[in-house]
Structure 1
């Protein structure tokens, strides 16, 4: 089975009527949550912030590839320093991705025009002086893009190419994956589903100015490939992380590095062409400007997940992130970030990231 003819373009693809009522949607709720969090941050007096910028700088922003095909698989995020003895933290991670891309090849045809929002509850704690545990439970929601107008305006303002965005209806949801020998996946109406739950253990190998942590994670198939919320397989990841305070200590900058691999289980999307192993990496720089504010820049990458000639179908990707962290109180903090696709087509155009965390 082949797809020699490019077929439908994004501009003329069959789509759901963007004027149909959809309800508020998780994306709009995420926007309200962002506004509320920023208001709370501005209202917190500096004297109330006891969580130091230096400590918060040990954890990178919680970035992953939110492409509708790649998010199905259990590729780990960089987590940074391990939890200290007696420490437990909870975080609500909200990621909103805007997708506008399509591709056709010999084995597949893919259209991703819409928005994907993942809201994840993450818990971390210490089992002993060196061992930590963690779990992340995601909810994945696909909808028409309420950020389409903002992104169109951004492209117009700076003269960036829009890849045909301006000719396509705003607020449309049209996700389609046609893969040779498998049932088609079509999502044209807003909806959400439980994603694949992740659990991990970490072991602090070395401490001090250069902390090294080894981690192992299992991703369980609690989501659904038909809803593009899970792969249908069990994935296992092993990786190492370094939190380096020494190398750039003169500038007060903390560096984070991560490298590892994920062994993929037998998933339900392109099963015959899934890679056995996917490699992941991360590099970040984190500058505590004050005890309350950290500025961050980081690169997160992974190798190819599916061996297809359509890059939108979980090809390798490199993403760049700029953002920061604000200590809201003695125990709470807020992460904000903007994630850009640096490879083209294999990751969302842009992802808006918000994490609200608290030490319990």
Structure 2
């Protein structure tokens, strides 16, 4: 059973990724821990991401308009089925709608002096997606849609572990259980492989990160421009000022999933910052905010709350 000291030791990354509706459908894995569970240990994680985007772009023969709020709820079950081996099952539920956060996000950007781009020029809390390529509409969505997303199964191997560092290797299979017409799935099967590591800097500071390769089989969304391969990774630092509180900053990136000149369909760099509160020996809660560092390439803002329960 995981102890309070274990929760407060080696870092667990924020369970975030690019929540763009055109990226969420692929098998890009959530940020992963380098330290795995011991044999016969298990945990449940409920992770909620709410992302909000208003984006209008055009270049060459392509144009894109996205006004959407996406609720992405992931239910994860981790189980150490053998010494140094762990299984993860990830079941997502995705809801695309006009949402309710436009006004609050406008105020948030104004308060921090962040760019608002086209936000002031469009009605609030509406859903509208339209992509045109070579004068042909290749994707359109203008009504709320929700369903189970694409389920994934992951296996991880603990290659190295000590009190000062850890290294694990991961393999993921994502299945097309969502609905491409609703932007809750890609319609394809994806495979990802990556390595996750961490390193103790001082008694309260850790570095962590991961890097990997994603293969995306041909899907049903923007078929003519979808790529089959992408690189991804993240890097972060954890600082623990008190036993029950962790503060973390995390940088995530991935290469483009589409062959397009539109920035919203291109390479992504985003910054996550927030903290974790260790409620008890078995419970931990993450709170995080994700901002697009490469402006116009990912959602304007994403809010993450994750609840970890160990057994």
Q: TM-score, normalised by structure 1?
A: 0.81
1:260 is displaced (CA, Å) by 0.6
Which ranges of 4 or more aligned residues in structure 1 deviate by more than 6 Å?
A: none
Matched, 1:287 2:247: no
1:138 is displaced (CA, Å) by 0.5
Specify the alignment match of 1:320 in structure 2.
271
Specify the alignment match of 1:339 in structure 2.
290
Structure 1 stretches lacking a partner, 5+ long: 1-48
Rg bigger for which structure?
A: 1
Specify the alignment match of 2:199 in structure 1.
244
CA deviation profile, 1:40-97 (whole Å, cap 9, x unmatched): xxxxxxxxx9623754642100011000111111111221121122210101110000
Specify the alignment match of 1:52 in structure 2.
5
Secondary structure of 1:249's counterpart equals coil
1:198 to 1:107, Cα distance in 2 relative to 1, 3 A:
farther
Match for 1:301 among 243, 248, 253?
Answer: 253
Matched, 1:64 2:17: yes
Match for 1:233 among 188, 193, 196?
Answer: 188
Matched, 1:352 2:307: no
Secondary structure of 1:221's counterpart equals coil
Structure with greater helix percent: 1
1:179 to 1:221, Cα distance in 2 relative to 1, 3 A:
farther
1:186 to 1:103, Cα distance in 2 relative to 1, 3 A:
same
Residues 1-360 of structure 1: pairs in structure 2 closer than 5 A: 51-52=4-5, 55=8, 57-80=10-33, 81-179=35-133, 184-208=138-162, 209-245=164-200, 248-250=201-203, 252-313=204-265, 315-360=266-311
CA deviation profile, 1:132-170 (whole Å, cap 9, x unmatched): 000111011011131111111123334433113123211
1:211 to 1:317, Cα distance in 2 relative to 1, 3 A:
same
* RMSD (CA atoms): 1.9
Tell me the distance in 1 between the aligned counterparts of 2:207 and 2:113: 34
Structure with greater strand percent: 2
**Aligned length, in residue pairs:** 308
Specify the alignment match of 1:31 in structure 2.
none
Tell me the distance in 2 between the aligned counterparts of 1:143 and 1:155: 21
Tell me the distance in 1 between the aligned counterparts of 2:309 and 2:241: 21
CA deviation profile, 1:85-123 (whole Å, cap 9, x unmatched): 221010111000010102223453321112011011011
Specify the alignment match of 1:7 in structure 2.
none
1:329 to 1:168, Cα distance in 2 relative to 1, 3 A:
same
Name which of structure 1's ranges 284-293 and 330-339 shifts more when overlaid on structure 2: 284-293
